[in-house]
């Protein structure tokens, strides 16, 4: 039904036009996870830096994003996502990053709402953040605790697939 999206506490806007995004376009599957509920209320991605969620996020990234953005988000046909420069500064926030993925941007950056579930978007966002290689001080999406321990990504430090999936991929307790 058309009322589902109205439950979100926040309003989400298209990255280019500012038009309000209709969450009712989201796939039915993956709407009801705890992480999605939290995200729609707070704009904060509870999967960030959760080791149990990163391998799934990587898998989605390699299927849905790396063809255009490079396998480490280093940039290819699309811009680099692993550095501190953003065409759209709002992508420094999880809310902004979600809006760009869900609603798309210009050209080849099409909306992903019919390709990925909301939960998958949060997973791929967490992996995209994990690939960040620049100064943690500019990682606005991290909270203070996360920023203290965040290590900029380096390809030789660890292969993406080497991160052990420990425990359940569910939101981290605060």
Binding region for Ca ion (CB under 5 A): 79-80, 83, 85
> Do residues 5 and 113 make contact, with C-beta atoms less than 8 angstroms apart?
no
To the nearest whole angstrom, how small is the minimum distance from the Cβ of residue 70 to Ca ion? 11
The rounded distance, in Å, linking the Cα atoms of 147 and 5 is: 32
101, 122, 123, 126: which one contacts ligand HEM (CB under 6 A)?
Answer: 101
Based on the number of CB atoms within 10 Å of its own CB, is 114 exposed (0-12), middle (13-18) or buried (19 or more)?
exposed
Q: Which stretch binds ligand HEM (CB under 6 A): 19-27, 39-47, 94-102, 131-139?
A: 94-102
What x-and-dash track marks residues 107-126 binding ligand HEM by CB under 6 A?
xxx--x-----------x--
The answer to whether 27 contacts ligand HEM (rule: CB under 6 A) is no
Which of helix, strand or coil describes residue 13?
Answer: strand
The answer to whether 139 contacts ligand HEM (rule: CB under 6 A) is no
E strands, the chain, are none
Q: Count CB-CB contacts under 10 A for residue 95.
A: 19
- What are the tokens at 15? 């990255």
- What are the tokens at 102? 């869900």
- What are the tokens at 71? 């396998």
**Residue 83 contacts which entry, Ca ion, ligand HEM, none (Cβ below 5-8 A, type-dependent):** Ca ion
The answer to whether 105 contacts ligand HEM (rule: CB under 6 A) is yes
The answer to whether 65 contacts ligand HEM (rule: CB under 6 A) is yes
**What residues make contact with ligand HEM under the rule CB under 6 A?**
64-65, 67-69, 77-79, 81, 86-88, 91, 97, 100-101, 105-109, 112, 124, 128
């Amino acid at each position: 039904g058309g009322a589902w999206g109205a439950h979100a506490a926040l309003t989400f806007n298209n990255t280019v036009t500012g038009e309000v995004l209709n969450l009712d376009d989201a796939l039915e599957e993956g709407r009801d996870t705890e992480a999605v509920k939290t995200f729609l209320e707070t704009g904060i991605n509870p999967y960030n830096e959760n080791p149990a969620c990163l391998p799934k996020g990587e898998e989605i990234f390699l299927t849905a994003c790396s063809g255009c953005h490079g396998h480490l988000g280093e940039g290819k046909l699309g811009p680099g996502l692993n550095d501190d420069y953003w065409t759209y500064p709002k992508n420094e926030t999880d809310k902004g990053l979600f809006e760009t993925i869900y609603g798309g941007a210009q050209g080849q950056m099409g909306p992903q709402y019919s390709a990925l579930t909301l939960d998958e978007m949060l997973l791929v966002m967490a992996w995209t953040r994990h690939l960040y290689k620049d100064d943690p001080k500019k990682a606005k999406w991290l909270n203070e605790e996360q920023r203290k321990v965040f290590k900029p990504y380096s390809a030789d430090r660890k292969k993406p697939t080497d991160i052990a999936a420990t425990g359940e991929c569910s939101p981290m307790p605060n």
